[in-house]
Amino acid sequence: MNSKEKKIDVKKIREEVKKTYSEAISRKNLSCCGSFEETDCCAKAKDIGYSEEELNNLLTDSNITTFGCGNPLAYSEVREGDIVLDLGPGAGLDLLIAARKVGPSGQVIGVDMTEEMISKAEENIKAAGVKNVEVRKGLIEDLPVKSSSVDWVISNCVINLSPEKEKVFSEISRVLKPGGRMVVSDMVGENIPEWLRENKNLYSACISGVISEKEYISGLLKAGLEKVKVSERKTYQWDELESFIKSTPEIGEDIKRMAKGSDIKVASIKISAYKPVL
Ligand SMILES: C[S@@+](CC[C@H](N)C(=O)[O-])C[C@H]1O[C@@H](n2cnc3c(N)ncnc32)[C@H](O)[C@@H]1O
């Protein structure tokens, strides 16, 4: 594939992902890594690691939902006064959790490419009454954020959706302050066949675009980050994946195809890294 073709692919993938999430937040009937019917939201959030306390304190609006596959901020050492950057915050659940941790003297920034998601996050930020949280429109591959300016980069089930992951890793490394840290929940996978790579529904559902844990780790190291560590790993069984995605019938069929006698493995992990002080 020449570089021009690759560029067109990247654009197409991004547009498809954007369309999926703009529809998901508008209709709440399409999902990545979960079900987004209103009634299911809290149950799903608890399933993926949010505590009752976090949710009770922050769900200021029934429309706040999670499209994540973990809780990147759980047990993190984010402190008062820190600056936190969330890659792809969606409706903003992690932005609000971060805002609580950093307090009024800190700052929380989200960068998302989907306007409908940004509007929803802004509504939720307003409803929560926090003043130090903002969402910028942009790409995680080209962050609208100054170099060496943030203490933490967090992200929840987003980097797998990028067709240019090496750029994302290098942007994380650029924007972190020396001594800053990244903590990300994301999907990874092994033995992904070509037909699955090309399946746009499962791409937007956080499956087709995954890289392996090994590639994730080496990508972060190559970007100049250190102390790369996987602290949580949940490998999905097929029935779990099927009910977890609570998908359209076509996706259900695709998942059955994935399950049939294959050695495809899909997992969610929590991975952290550190930007060295040189
Ligand atoms: C699976 S949802 C996760 C949302 C949120 N992190 C959560 O836990 O609910 C993916 C989000 O990432 C955004 N996104 C995906 N690819 C992106 C990219 N390349 N640049 C910026 N935002 C992106 C989407 O618009 C969407 O809001």
pLDDT for the residue numbered 42: 62
pLDDT for the residue numbered 59: 57
Which residue, judged by its Cα, is nearest atom 14 of ligand 1? 88
Ligand 1 centroid–CA 261 distance in Å is 31
Is the Cβ atom of 117 under 6 angstroms away from ligand 1?
yes
- Name residues whose C-beta falls within 8 Å of residue 122's C-beta, 6 or more positions apart in sequence: 92, 135
Ligand 1 centroid–CA 38 distance in Å is 19
Which residue, judged by its Cα, is nearest atom 3 of ligand 1? 67
Ligand 1 centroid–CA 158 distance in Å is 5
pLDDT for the residue numbered 240: 74
Is the Cβ atom of 114 under 6 angstroms away from ligand 1?
yes
Using CA atoms, how far apart are residues 78 and 140, in angstroms rounded to an integer?
21
Could you give the angle at the alpha carbon of 161 between the alpha carbons of 178 and 268, nearest 5°?
A: 80
Using CA atoms, how far apart are residues 125 and 132, in angstroms rounded to an integer?
9
Is the Cβ atom of 95 under 6 angstroms away from ligand 1?
no
pLDDT for the residue numbered 31: 39
Please tell me what DSSP assigns to residue 41.
Answer: H
pLDDT for the residue numbered 3: 45
DSSP, collapsed to helix, strand or coil, labels residue 215 as helix
pLDDT by position in tens, the chain (length 278)? 444 445 568 999 999 999 988 988 886 543 334 444 444 556 677 778 888 777 777 655 545 688 889 999 988 899 999 999 999 999 999 999 999 999 999 999 999 999 999 999 999 999 888 999 999 999 999 999 999 999 999 999 999 999 999 999 999 999 999 999 999 999 999 998 888 888 888 898 898 999 999 999 999 999 999 999 999 999 988 777 766 565 556 677 777 777 775 688 999 999 999 999 98
Domains delineated in the chain: 9-274 (3.40.50.150)
Using CA atoms, how far apart are residues 259 and 243, in angstroms rounded to an integer?
13
Is the Cβ atom of 203 under 6 angstroms away from ligand 1?
no
Helix (H) / strand (E) containing 194: helix 194-197
Q: Ligand 1: which of 84, 112, 141, 187 to mutate, most ligand atoms within 8 Å of CB?
A: 112
User: How far from 278 is each of 160, 169, 179, 224, CA to CA, in Å?
Assistant: 29, 19, 9, 11
Ligand 1 centroid–CA 26 distance in Å is 15
pLDDT for the residue numbered 163: 96
User: How far from 265 is each of 83, 200, 208, 255, CA to CA, in Å?
Assistant: 35, 18, 11, 12
User: How far from 186 is each of 4, 71, 88, 124, 229, CA to CA, in Å?
Assistant: 29, 10, 12, 23, 13
DSSP, collapsed to helix, strand or coil, labels residue 249 as helix
Instruction: Give the pairing of strands 176-190 and 265-274.
Output: antiparallel
pLDDT for the residue numbered 86: 98
pLDDT for the residue numbered 61: 52
Ligand 1 centroid–CA 140 distance in Å is 9
| Residue 94, Cβ density class (10 Å: 0-12 exposed, 13-18 middle, ≥19 buried) | buried
